[in-house]
Amino acid sequence: MTQTVRVRFPPSPTGHLHIGGVRTALFNWLYARHCGGMFVLRIEDTDRTRSTEESIQAILEGMQWLGLDWDEGPYRQTERLAIYQSQAYRLLEAGKAYYCYCSPQELQERREEALRRGESPRYDRRCRELSHPPAGPKPAIRIKAPLEGQTRFVDLIHGDLTFDNSEMDDLIILRSDETPTYNFAVVVDDVTMQITHVIRGDDHIPNTPRQILIYQALEYPLPEFGHVSMILGADKGRLSKRHGATSVLAYREMGYLPEALLNYLARLGWAHGDQEIFTKEELVAQFSLSELNKAAAIFSPDKLQWLNAHYLRTLPSERLIPELLPHLIRQGVMKSAEEIDRAYLARAIDSVRERSKTLIEMAQWLRFYFADQIVYEPKAAAKFLTPATAPLLARLEHGLAALPSFDEASIEHVFQQLLADSGLKLGAIAQPARVALTGDTVSPGIHQVMAILGRERVLGRLRQALEAIDSDVNRGA
């Protein structure tokens, strides 16, 4: 009988959900979905001094925004302390672990002394064979690591990896306050949650032989391990804030779409031929651990922005609207989502897709569509809203007001008639009209803009421009 694939993503809630963690979550999620398996979310919150509820909620929000749904969880390690304790005492009773009575101060002094001698600062195992435990504070529990031989495993990405047991330490598995250490809690969680594949960053490779020793002491079968490459900045340094935002929700605030971020992260260390753009369904169908690259991946903000622009051009307007509305509200383009005419917004979006790389840019382009009063860019107004252009704008207003149907073809016909009558080129009429309608000299096509704005807005803005010109004349401007 084929074993059901079970993978997990275990973030530590000591900060925001970062790009590296999201990519690890994505690879696990894709593998689970590709295999018809289970994706487990586990919150590793045993670091009580740094873990916060705010961070937990940010992790959940980031996962939900990206559409990385989980099948089980979120489990919290702080709710599982009794499980870790029972497993640690089981090892103690089996003679595979022992009490360590050394104080943190003593351990630190010995580490410093070992470093002065040029030795590895491992625990010297002085409590390993104690026959008469000393009186004093409650002890920690350490596992008995083998003193010789090797620990090896076949990594799904890196192949055969071997470690000398002589380099291993007798790790503390349960602290004196009865909280588990990281390596022990991870193993117990993975065992009890029946995890079949541990897919994580390759910075965890040194932890793997230590964890294997714990699996073996507990007499549980090993999962398969696969360690994915790190993400580096363009300078080959570890990805950090200096390379740009690293928090997932920060990318949402910067105007990126979840489709773009997922597509980009999937290609960061994984390839399927030369294909660059994937739907989520295509990623699930084509994902394979064998195609993961063991070399470090380089993060490129330009490539991410290129993908984002692609999705802004191609996704349906109705998909973009929920992501766009917070930016429109934040920029003051509108006060609330309830007031919006979604059909009007969808048409406006279609007119600015090609010009936008982020949702922030799209919101800026859309501003004039929702303005109650147009504010003119001073240089544009000085050049195009003048007494010389006022007659053209007045004739344009008259022609548009008389149209039986206010669509692009009819609007274009009015422009053509005006050009024929005046002998001018299109720019001589289109640019004053553009400034009157949008406040600036750059916009989507003027006929399209007018058709989207509608007759009432267009005529009102043309009258506003004519009044502004008249007012300037009367002031002697």
Phi-psi region of 238 (alpha: psi -120 to 50; beta: other; left: phi over 0): beta
Active-site pick, 138, 144, 241, 280: 241
Please name the amino acid found at residue 57. Q
Of the candidates 281, 339, 243, 325, the one whose C-alpha atom is nearest the C-alpha of residue 30 is 281
Cα distances (Å, whole numbers) of residue 388 to 292, 294, 467: 65, 67, 14
Long-range contact pairs involving 332-339 (C-beta distance under 8 Å, separation at least 24) = 333/363, 333/366, 333/367, 333/370, 334/370
- DSSP class of 44: -
Structure tokens belonging to residue 303: 């490539």
Distance from chain centroid for Cα 211? 29
Neighbour tally for 239: CB within 10 Å: 20
State the helix-helix crossing angle for 426-438 and 408-422, rounded to 10 degrees.
130
Strand partners, 153: 161
Separation between Cα atoms, residue 259 and residue 311, nearest integer Å: 7
Residue 241: active-site member? yes
Task: Fill in the DSSP letter of residue 367.
Answer: G
- The amino acid at residue 476 is G
Interacting residues of 2 by C-beta distance below 8 A, sequence separation 6+:
none
Residues assigned a catalytic role:
241
